[in-house]
């Protein structure tokens, strides 16, 4: 029985400023902040998770806002573009909304689909595409009605320093299926209905540089801890040496860098974000793992406060 991942679990990136980050992803894109916690190795840096109402796998983008971090350079060995899925007939709404917020948008076509392509405040590349698959959002914020709201990831565009090797890992290790090719990209599909369409740039991309404004890693879904162990063995049998399982509080993670240079993670669907907060209060309070709790006052004092707020069009 060959393992197949359902698709993207989450994508993690570095940015500069927490308030700007929240304004963009919650205020403008209308996503929900589902968890406010810290980087467990650098507690003065937040770790923010944005997703759909539940923070379901396939909808979660996570950020480390790091003021003193070095600016990165998007390139090979990275996720080049993060793709969000909106309901059919919604691109017009988003085009107007992004224009109102004075965000420069380019319309592009790739493998017969239309995309709105733009960047966030830190230079991360984002695109919106209409997709039929996946449940409608149940979360509405900042003037984004649920019927036009982002459902979750459509997928991602991968920039590899060695596309042949990356393609091999996507299909033979992760169990994705190649379904199309065109416009300089090869398209793969996973079994889920969100975060399931991966476009690999067919030409090698020169090595990027990590830092703010770049994606750090992309995580693929494992059903549970047992399946994650199987994934570990599968990854190993393909010549990779994955890291030991690491407890990330809301999922367990293993990591390996595929041969095109992209850091891959395999993350478990459970326990999810309601493990330490009520589902209707996600993201409201700074959540700390037990071992940090005694130092909460010190930790909170070192974090720069930010709020989830509606962004006025004329306040920009």
Least distance to another protein from the beta carbon of 261, Å?
5
Structure tokens belonging to residue 129? 């595409």
Nearer to another protein among residue 107 and residue 302 (C-beta): 302
Nearer to another protein among residue 88 and residue 290 (C-beta): 290
Nearer to another protein among residue 37 and residue 117 (C-beta): 37
Least distance to another protein from the beta carbon of 77, Å?
6
Give residues in contact with another protein (CB under 8 A): 12, 14, 39-42, 45, 64, 66, 68-70, 77, 161, 207, 209-211, 216-217, 239-243, 255-257, 261, 263
Q: d(Cα 195, Cα 305) in Å, to the nearest integer?
A: 31
In degrees rounded to 5, what are phi and psi of residue 268?
-80, 145
Least distance to another protein from the beta carbon of 127, Å?
24
Nearer to another protein among residue 78 and residue 83 (C-beta): 78
Nearer to another protein among residue 303 and residue 311 (C-beta): 303
Least distance to another protein from the beta carbon of 85, Å?
26
Least distance to another protein from the beta carbon of 156, Å?
18
Nearer to another protein among residue 91 and residue 262 (C-beta): 262
């Amino acid at each position: 029985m060959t393992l197949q991942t359902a698709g993207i679990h989450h994508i993690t990136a570095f940015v500069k400023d927490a308030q700007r980050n929240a304004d963009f992803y919650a205020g403008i894109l209308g996503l929900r902040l589902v968890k406010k916690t810290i980087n467990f190795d650098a507690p003065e840096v937040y770790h923010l998770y944005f997703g759909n109402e539940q923070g379901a796998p396939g909808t979660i983008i996570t950020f480390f806002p790091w003021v003193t971090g070095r600016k990165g350079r998007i390139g090979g060995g990275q996720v080049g573009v993060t793709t969000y899925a909106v309901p059919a007939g919604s691109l017009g709404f988003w085009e107007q909304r992004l224009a109102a917020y004075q965000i420069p948008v380019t319309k592009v076509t790739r493998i017969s689909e239309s995309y709105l392509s733009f960047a966030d405040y830190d230079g991360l590349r984002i695109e919106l595409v209409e997709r039929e698959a996946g449940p409608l959002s149940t979360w509405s914020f900042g003037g984004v009605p649920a019927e036009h709201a982002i459902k979750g990831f459509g997928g991602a565009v991968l920039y590899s320093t060695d596309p042949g090797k990356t393609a091999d890992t996507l299909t033979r290790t992760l169990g994705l299926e190649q379904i199309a090719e065109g416009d300089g990209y090869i398209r793969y599909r996973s079994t889920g209905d969100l975060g399931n369409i991966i476009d690999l740039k067919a030409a090698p991309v020169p090595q990027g540089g990590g830092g703010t404004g770049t994606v750090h890693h992309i995580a693929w879904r494992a059903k549970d801890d047992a399946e994650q162990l199987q994934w570990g063995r599968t990854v190993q049998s393909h010549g990779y040496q994955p890291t030991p399982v690491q407890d990330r509080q809301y999922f367990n993670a293993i990591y390996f860098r595929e041969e095109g240079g992209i850091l891959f993670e395999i993350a478990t669907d459970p326990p999810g974000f309601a493990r330490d907060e009520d589902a209707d209060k996600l993201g409201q309070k700074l959540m700390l793992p037990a071992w940090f709790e005694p130092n909460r006052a010190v930790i909170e004092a070192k974090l720069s406060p930010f709020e989830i707020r509606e962004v006025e069009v004329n306040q920009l």
